[in-house]
A and B are shown apart, each in its own frame.
Chain A
Amino acid sequence: MPNGQPAIRLDHISRHYTMGEAVIRAVDDVSLDLPSGEFLALLGSSGSGKSTLLNLIAGLDRPTSGAVIAHGQDLSTVSSLELARYRRQTVGMVFQSFNLLPRMTLEENVELPLRLAEVDRSDRAARVHEALERVGLGKRITHRPGELSGGEQQRAAIARALVNRPKILLADEPTGNLDSATGESILMLLKEIQKNPGMTIVMVTHERPLAERFADRLAVMGDGKLLSNGAAR
Chain B
Amino acid sequence: MKPRDLSDLALRNLREAILRNSLTTLGIAVGVASLVAMLSLGVGLQQLASKRLSQSGLFDSVFVTPRVNLRGMGRAAMPPSSDQAPRLLDESARQEISRLPNVVEVYPQVRFFTEVRFDGKPFATMVAGMPASSKASGSFDGMQGSFFSGDAAYETILQSEFAKELNAQTSTLIGKDLVLRYAERQSIPPNPMDSKATSASNSESLPGGFSVVPKEMRLRIVGVVDTEPASGFGGYGNGRLLIPLQVAMTLRAAQVNDLRDIVRGTSSAPTFASLTVRAKGPAYVEALEASVKNMGFGAFSLLDASKSLATFFRVLDMLLGIFSSLALFVATLGIVNTLVMAILERRREIGVLKALGASDRDVKQLFFFEAGVMGLFGGIFGLFLGWLIGRALNFGTNFYLHRRDLPSVDISSVPWWLVLFSIGFAVLVSLVAGLYPASRAARLNPVEALRYE
- A residues sitting closer than 8 Å to B (CB atoms) are 55, 58, 60-61, 80-81, 84-85, 87-89, 93, 95-97, 99, 101, 103-104, 112-113, 115-118, 160, 164
* Contact status B447-A101, CB under 8 Å: no
Given the complex, which residues of A lie within 8 Å of B356, measured CB to CB?
Answer: 87-88, 93, 112-113, 116, 160
* Contact status A117-B357, CB under 8 Å: yes
Given the complex, which residues of B lie within 8 Å of A99, measured CB to CB?
Answer: 348, 351-352, 355, 450
Q: Which chain B residue shows the least CB distance to A102?
A: B349
Given the complex, which residues of B lie within 8 Å of A115, measured CB to CB?
Answer: 1-2, 5, 8-9
- B residues sitting closer than 8 Å to A (CB atoms) are 1-2, 5, 8-9, 12, 16, 348-349, 351-362, 446-447, 450, 452
Given the complex, which residues of B lie within 8 Å of A112, measured CB to CB?
Answer: 353, 356
* Contact status B353-A60, CB under 8 Å: no
Known contacts A60-B447, A115-B9, A116-B1; A103/B16 CB under 8 A: yes
* Contact status A118-B361, CB under 8 Å: no
Given the complex, which residues of B lie within 8 Å of A93, measured CB to CB?
Answer: 355-356
Q: How far is the CB of B448 from chain A (nearest CB, A)?
A: 10
Partner of A84, one of B12, B358, B450, B452: B358
Can you give 21 contacting A-B residue pairs, CB < 8 Å? Answer: A60-B446, A80-B359, A81-B360, A81-B361, A84-B358, A85-B357, A85-B359, A87-B355, A88-B356, A88-B357, A96-B452, A99-B351, A99-B355, A101-B349, A113-B357, A115-B1, A116-B1, A116-B362, A117-B357, A118-B2, A164-B357
* Contact status A60-B357, CB under 8 Å: no
Q: Which chain B residue shows the least CB distance to A92?
A: B356
Cβ-closest 4 pairs across A and B: A88-B357, A84-B359, A87-B357, A115-B5
Known contacts A99-B348, A103-B16; A87/B447 CB under 8 A: no
Partner of B360, one of A60, A80, A97, A118: A80
Q: How far is the CB of A27 from chain B (nearest CB, A)?
A: 12
Given the complex, which residues of A lie within 8 Å of B354, measured CB to CB?
Answer: 60, 84, 87
Q: Which chain B residue shows the least CB distance to A163?
A: B356
Beyond known contacts A80-B359, A99-B351: 14 more, CB 8 A cutoff: A55-B447, A80-B360, A81-B360, A84-B357, A84-B360, A84-B362, A85-B359, A87-B354, A87-B356, A89-B357, A99-B355, A112-B353, A115-B1, A115-B5
* Contact status A81-B359, CB under 8 Å: yes
Given the complex, which residues of A lie within 8 Å of B8, measured CB to CB?
Answer: 115
| CA A213 to CA B2, docked complex, whole Å | 43
* Contact status A116-B357, CB under 8 Å: yes
Q: Which chain A residue shows the least CB distance to B451?
A: A51
| CA A104 to CA B12, docked complex, whole Å | 9
Q: How far is the CB of A56 from chain B (nearest CB, A)?
A: 10
Given the complex, which residues of A lie within 8 Å of B352, measured CB to CB?
Answer: 99, 101
Q: Which chain A residue shows the least CB distance to B346?
A: A101
| CA A163 to CA B388, docked complex, whole Å | 52
| CA A103 to CA B345, docked complex, whole Å | 13
